[in-house]
Amino acid sequence: MKTTTPDQVEIRLPRRAEFVRVARMAACAVASQLDFTYDVVKDVELAVGEACANAVEHVAEEGCNEILVRFGIDPTQLTIEVLDRGQGFDPNEAGGGREQDWDDPGGLGLGLVVIRELMDDMVIECDEATGTCVRMVKYRSR
Amino acid sequence: MTTPLKIASRTEGKDTAILSLTGEVDVANAGRVRDAGLKLISDGIKHLIIDLSPTDYMDSTGLGTLVGLHKRLVESEGELIVAGPQPRVERLFEITGLTQVFRIFDDVDAALKEVRG
- Enumerate the β-bridge partners of residue B18: B10, B49
Q: What is the pLDDT of residues B6-39, one digit of tens each?
A: 999 999 999 999 999 999 999 999 999 999 999 9
Answer yes or no: do B26 and A53 touch at CB < 8 A. yes
Q: Which residues of B touch A118 (CB under 8 A)?
A: 95
Asked if residues A48 and A82 have their Cβ atoms less than 8 Å apart, the reply is yes
Minimal C-alpha gap between B105 and chain A (Å): 22
Number of other residues whose CB lies within 10 A of the CB of residue B83:
23
Rg (CA), chain B: 13
Q: Distance (Å) from the C-alpha of residue B61 to the closest C-alpha of chain A? A: 5
Range of the domain at A38: 2-139
Chain A interface test: which of B55, B56, B61 (most A C-beta within 10 Å): B61
Give the predicted TM-score (pTM) of the model: 0.88
What is the reported pLDDT for A19?
95
Per-residue model confidence (pLDDT) at position A60? 58
Q: What is the pLDDT of residue A47?
A: 98
- Interface mutation vs chain A, best among B38, B55, B56, B59, most A CBs within 10 Å: B59
CA A57 distance to own-chain centroid: 13
User: What gap in Å lies between CA A53 and CA A47, rounded to an integer?
Assistant: 10
Contact A117 B95 (CB under 8 A): yes
Give chain B's mean pLDDT. Answer: 95
- Does the pLDDT value for residue A133 go beyond 60? yes
The ipTM assigned to this model is: 0.91
Look at residues B6, B63, B71, B14 and name the one whose alpha carbon lies nearest to residue B38: B71
What distance in Å separates the CA atoms of residue A11 and residue A123, rounded to the nearest whole number? 20
Mean pLDDT to the nearest integer, A103-131: 82
Hey, where are the domains in chain B? 5-116
Count of A–B CB contacts within 8 Å? 79
Q: Is the pLDDT of residue A97 over 50?
A: no
pLDDT band at A100 (very low <50, low <70, confident <90, very high): very low
pLDDT at A3 over 70: no
Backbone φ and ψ for A58, nearest 5 degrees, come out as -120, 15
CATH of residue A63's domain is: 3.30.565.10
**Mind listing the pLDDT tens digit for each residue in A72-94?**
999 999 999 999 876 655 555 55
Cβ proximity of A50 and B60 under 8 Å: yes
CB A23 within 8 A of CB A68: no
The fold adopted by the segment(s) B5-116 is: Transcription Regulator spoIIAA (3.30.750)
Over 60: is that where the pLDDT of A124 sits?
yes
Instruction: Answer whether B67 sits within 8 Å of A102, measured CB to CB.
Output: yes
Residues 59-98 of B with CB under 8 A from A: 59-61, 63-65, 67-68, 71, 88, 92, 95-97
pLDDT for res A102 = 47
pLDDT tens digits along A12-66: 999 999 999 999 999 999 999 999 999 999 999 999 999 999 999 876 556 678 9
- CA dist., res. B95 & res. A63, Å (int): 34
